Structure 1
């Protein structure tokens, strides 16, 4: 900090102006968030009206806008989140609260143990275990593509000279390169996650595999054809019940 009194006053004035600007922006953000939440709630009540599809699209757009505003607020807010106390209501709290992720019991876990060793680094005396502090981090293992090579060995009989070779395993798409896991991922991403095929092609390209959009279209169509008998059986089972 400078020793000049005038310079210090100028710094304080600039900080006060910045604080006032941030406070005004925060109030504007809060007002926008509240108005968006009210509009979304009203539209959701009218969701099943005569123009439900149009209202549904408007709700999705407002939710995206609300999400962008909240992300901008979170990016500007560098203060740590306070500890949650039992009985606190996030809806009535003036600050946005971060919800703690709920991890399923079936989620794989990896334990990393940081051991200080067997002897004290200060005096060299022996150490004994008195407890441990455990902290959890939720990590994401990115999906990756791999090429599975299936080699069918050809062998000949020394006596009758007969050629012997195992049959080729079946494929979900005849003469196609896509495996069942890849096809399932493409279908779920398109029809459940609403991820267009051209975006999936961009994601695959970042992983080192360039799949033309026309190929993805063919794979989707062929996979739908493979699943059609199963869909028919499910439909017959459902419609035959009470």
Structure 2
């Protein structure tokens, strides 16, 4: 790229020539900047295309594997649980691809030389979250509501609401049952104390709610006791799998009369 001409080398040039030359240099600099911008956009699009090709190949491979496990020879088929995992991987990869496409589209729109010519993208309308879920409102106020005109504070005229789904991670807690003892200060009567509450597994740690969660995780969510023991250990509750098995066995025996009567 040639360096711009130094007009100071020509001190005797007429003023109109100097102005015309300066205007021409400005136009050239604008044109050069626009060309560099276009080259950057093209390079970004090329990188996007290469990334898409890689993702498409990945998706094609996963679709091929899924079809083989679903429609292939019996020896290659997976059990339903493995099929679900394969389908989840495929759906996750598709969602990842769509997210990357949307991100690059936003970059291309932002870098477009004429944003008005870019066709607006249709925003996906999110489905409403279930009404029965509790709502925790977090109001984010502006840093200042003082009106620049000096009239005082601005007045609230509306609001925008967005909802996001969250989950409070499971936590373990110890329920301490305290039964105070009362006695006559003169020693004339016996001790008064509330009866201990009945429990499904007397003399054991777990509450009925914890036993129900372990049973549902094992039988409905197909989570073996050894995996549940690992999860509990990560939460700082080291309980051996054999202990969980003992709890489940005793629970089954305790509720058997109710189950058998149905």
TM-score, normalising length from structure 2?
0.63
Report the equivalent of 1:90: none
Whether 2:66 is the aligned partner of 1:66: answer no
Q: Is the 8 A contact 1:155 1:164 kept in 2?
A: yes
Structure 1 Cα separation of the partners of residues 174 and 211 of structure 2: 14
Structure 2 Cα separation of the partners of residues 224 and 102 of structure 1: 40
Whether 2:131 is the aligned partner of 1:131: answer no
Runs of 4+ in structure 1 displaced over 6 angstroms? Answer: 11-17
State the superposition RMSD in angstroms: 3.5
Q: Is the 8 A contact 2:59 2:93 kept in 1?
A: no
Q: Is the 8 A contact 1:120 1:127 kept in 2?
A: yes
TM-score, normalising length from structure 1?
0.68
Identify, as 1 or 2, the structure richer in helix: 2
Report the equivalent of 1:5: none
Structure 1 Cα separation of the partners of residues 231 and 255 of structure 2: 25
- Give unpaired runs (5+ residues) of structure 2: 1-39, 104-121
Larger radius of gyration: 2
Give the drift of 1:41.
6.5
Assess, with a 3 A threshold, how the Cα gap between structure 1 residues 171 and 39 changes in structure 2: closer, same or farther: same
Whether 2:257 is the aligned partner of 1:229: answer yes
Structure 2 Cα separation of the partners of residues 35 and 17 of structure 1: 27
1:167-197 Cα shifts (integer Å, max 9, x gaps): 2111110211100111011000111101111
What are the equivalent positions in structure 2 for 1:60-209 lying under 5 Å apart? 60-72=81-93, 74-75=95-96, 77-80=99-102, 83-84=123-124, 100=126, 103-116=129-142, 119-120=145-146, 122-124=148-150, 125-157=152-184, 158=186, 160-209=188-237
Report the equivalent of 2:10: none
Report the equivalent of 1:88: none
Structure 2 Cα separation of the partners of residues 105 and 13 of structure 1: 47
**Mean CA deviation greater in 200-209 or 115-124:** 115-124
